[in-house]
A and B are shown apart, each in its own frame.
Chain A
Amino acid sequence: MKIVGVTSCPSGVAHTYMAAEALQKAGKDKGIEVHIETQGASGADDTLTKDQISAADFVVLTNDTSIRGTDRFKGKKVVQMSATKIIEKADALMNKLEKMA
């Protein structure tokens, strides 16, 4: 399974990167390929490529602030939740997505 995601938060210094890290770590533990773009205070990092997006089974987005460029995910299966929830439950999220795939 492959997952891409975009994380962001109001101040763009903490939760953005903690959520990205949580998703990457959870993916690594389960052998899921995870690519996360962070839209923090210093702009977008690790911008998702077209190939990464088209290969992904699911898209995970934070919903604390507006994500830029959501039109890239047209036709994808998208999960939106708060960065805090992702940080707490990244493992559970991956488990459940794996069952759905």
Chain B
Amino acid sequence: MAENAKKKKTSWWAPAQRHLMTATGYMIPFVVAGGIIFALSVMISGQPSAPTTGWLGKLNSIGAAGLALFIPALGGYLAFSMADRPGLAPGFITAYLAVQIHAGFLGGILGGILAGYAVNLLKKIKLPANFRTLSSIFIYPLGGTLIAGGLMVFVLGGPIAEIMKALTNFLNGLHGAAKAPLGVLLGAMVGVDMGGPINKVAYTFAQTQVNTLPFLMGGVGAAGATPPIGLGIATLIFRNKFSSEERDAGIAALVMGTMGITEGAIPFATADPIRVIPANTIGAAVACLSGFMFGCLNHAPWGGLIVLPVVDHRLGYIAAVAMGAIVVAVIVGVTKKKYVAEDHTENSDDDDDIDFDVQNF
């Protein structure tokens, strides 16, 4: 009974989360390619604004193309995850429309959901077998795009654009201490699951607003680097508290943190979640808060130290990463017990405490 009740409660949220995660996974390469090439062209030009002429202008246009596509990709793959292949085109088109009418990431996500939903509805229309190709070639792309795109352009786009404008104005209007709660919240979200769903929500929130609100990535980008760098430092300082595998992983984590890959912290968190996850959460919150306080602006939708060329107030950004990392390292170092090699196979074999359902596909 209890199991059933629990299932009912999560029945819409679990798939919604899965679709969002799938979409973010497909979106990230667009962000990385676009963001880093964009950042590179700005760095080489030495000017504070994006270059428009010469070969640097052309390089910049490559990066800009990646950045122009990432919200459409988010919406497209959201619909793809919901409705499989027929969802992709309507989702891309609707999310592209959302960007055009300044409905931002909210519009992109909603556009993807609309398209996926529309195509799933159209799939319910049962045609005779010899007309089935008609569905995949005409009805799904045409109907799905008209329904979702139409809703976006005629009905929802305007109000969402207004919401986005209000949100942007509100966030832009935050000064000094007023940014603190947002900084702590976003930073903690980035640290708590190290590249998992909660991290992605915070990251996507900041990434999709990098053009209008670069201070968000200034904090979030620093926070994302913090857990792996902090744990890497911890393995160097507190050597006797880690196994030799963990010490090796520590070096890899340092590199990943520098590149802005929060996932580098995962091996440590799975080995010792009770100590490592709180340390990461607090450290990332400190880094994000510091980034906000130091007024760091990060113009690339990516984190780590690799984005330094396009960061305003670089020293502040480095300080934010360093402070967060030290917090992580100290908390882990102080709370962790001395490492004692143990026989893993023995206790894990007796652990039969697992619940799952077997479905017939």
Q: B-contacting residues of A (Cβ < 8 Å)? A: 9-15, 18, 29, 41, 58-59, 63-66, 70, 73-81, 84-85, 87-89, 91-93, 95-96, 100
Instruction: Give the contact stretch, choosing among B1-9, B328-336, B343-351.
Output: B343-351
User: With A and B bound together, what is the CA distance between A12 and B27 in angstroms?
Assistant: 12
B359 at the interface (CB under 8 A from A): yes
Interface of B toward A, CB cutoff 8 Å: 14, 18-19, 21-22, 24-25, 28-29, 81, 195-197, 200, 261, 263, 266-267, 270, 345, 348-349, 351-354, 356-361
Known: A11-B195, A92-B352. A59 touches B361 (CB 8 A): yes
A76 — which chain B residues lie within 8 A by C-beta?
Answer: 360-361
With A10-B24, A64-B21 already in contact, the answer to whether A87 and B270 are too (CB < 8 A) is yes
With the chains together, A85 CA to B354 CA distance in Å? 9
CB-nearest residue of chain B relative to A74? B361
Could you say which residues of chain A place their CB within 8 Å of the CB of B18? 63-66
> Which interface residue of B29, B349, B357 has the most chain A CB atoms within 10 A?
B349
User: A93 touching B356 by the CB < 8 A rule?
Assistant: yes
A80 smallest CB distance to B (angstroms):
7
Which B residues touch A65, using CB under 8 A?
A: 18, 21-22, 25, 81
Nearest chain B residue, comparing its CB with the CB of A26: B348
Determine whether the beta carbon of B195 is less than 8 Å from that of A77: no
Which residues of chain A are within 8 angstroms of B266 by Cβ–Cβ distance? 14-15, 18
A59-B356 Cα distance, complex, nearest whole Å: 13
Report whether A66 and B351 are in contact in the complex, using a CB–CB cutoff of 8 Å: no
The interface residues of chain A, by DSSP majority, are classed as mixed
Residues of chain A lying within 8 A (CB to CB) of residue B348: 91
- B261 contacts A13, C-beta separation under 8 Å: yes
User: Which chain A residue has the least Cβ–Cβ distance from B349?
Assistant: A91
**What separation, in Å, do the CA atoms of A89 and B29 have in the docked complex?**
31
Please tell me if the beta carbons of A95 and B263 are within 8 angstroms of each other in the complex.
no
Q: List, in ascending order, chain A residues with CB within 8 A of B197's CB.
A: 10
Residues of A within 8 A of B356 (CB): 79-81, 93, 96
Report the Cα distance A96→B358, complex, angstroms: 11
Instruction: List, sorted by A's number, 19 A–B pairs whose CB atoms are closer than 8 Å.
Output: A9-B21, A12-B25, A14-B263, A29-B349, A41-B28, A63-B14, A63-B18, A65-B22, A73-B361, A76-B361, A77-B359, A78-B359, A78-B360, A81-B356, A88-B270, A89-B353, A92-B352, A93-B356, A95-B352
Interface of B is mostly: helix
For the complex of A and B, the 7 pairs showing the least CB-CB separation, nearest first, are A10-B21, A92-B354, A65-B22, A14-B263, A14-B266, A66-B22, A66-B81
Point out the residues of chain B lying under 8 angstroms from A12, CB to CB.
25
Q: In the bound complex, what is the Cα–Cα distance between A74 and B349 (angstroms)?
A: 31
- Return the chain B residue nearest A70 by Cβ: B361
Asked whether A89 lies within 8 Å of B354 as measured between CB atoms, the reply is: yes
Residues of A close to B14: CB separation below 8 A: 63
- For B22, what are the chain A residues with a Cβ–Cβ distance below 8 Å? 10, 65-66
With A14-B266, A96-B354 known, 13 other A-B pairs at CB within 8 A are: A10-B24, A14-B195, A14-B267, A65-B22, A65-B25, A66-B19, A66-B81, A70-B361, A73-B361, A77-B358, A79-B357, A91-B348, A100-B358
Most buried by A among B19, B352, B353: B352
When the two chains form their complex, are residues B25 and A93 in contact, meaning their CB atoms are under 8 A apart? no
Do B351 and A75 have beta carbons less than 8 Å apart? no
Instruction: A84 to B18: give the CA distance in the assembly, Å.
Output: 14
Q: What are the residues of chain B within 8 A of A14 when measuring CB–CB? A: 195, 263, 266-267
Q: Tell me, in angstroms, the Cα distance from A75 to B361 when the chains sit together.
A: 5
Which B residues are in CB contact (< 8 Å) with A80? 356, 359
Distance in angstroms between the alpha carbons of A58 and B356 in the assembled complex: 13
Known contacts: A65-B18, A66-B18. The answer to whether A11 contacts B354 by CB under 8 A is no
A74 to B25, CA, bound (A): 26
Query: Are B360 and A77 neighbours in the complex by a CB distance under 8 Å?
Result: yes
Partner pick for A93 among B24, B28, B345, B354, CB 8 A cutoff: B354
Closest to A73 in B: B361
List B contacts of A89 (CB < 8 A). 351, 353-354
B195 surroundings in chain A (CB, below 8 A): 10-11, 13-14
Q: Can you name the residue of chain A whose Cβ is closest to the Cβ of B358? A: A77
Q: Report B-chain residues with C-beta under 8 Å of the C-beta of A92.
A: 351-354
Q: Name, among B195, B351, B361, the residue most crowded by chain A CB atoms within 10 Å (CB to CB).
A: B361
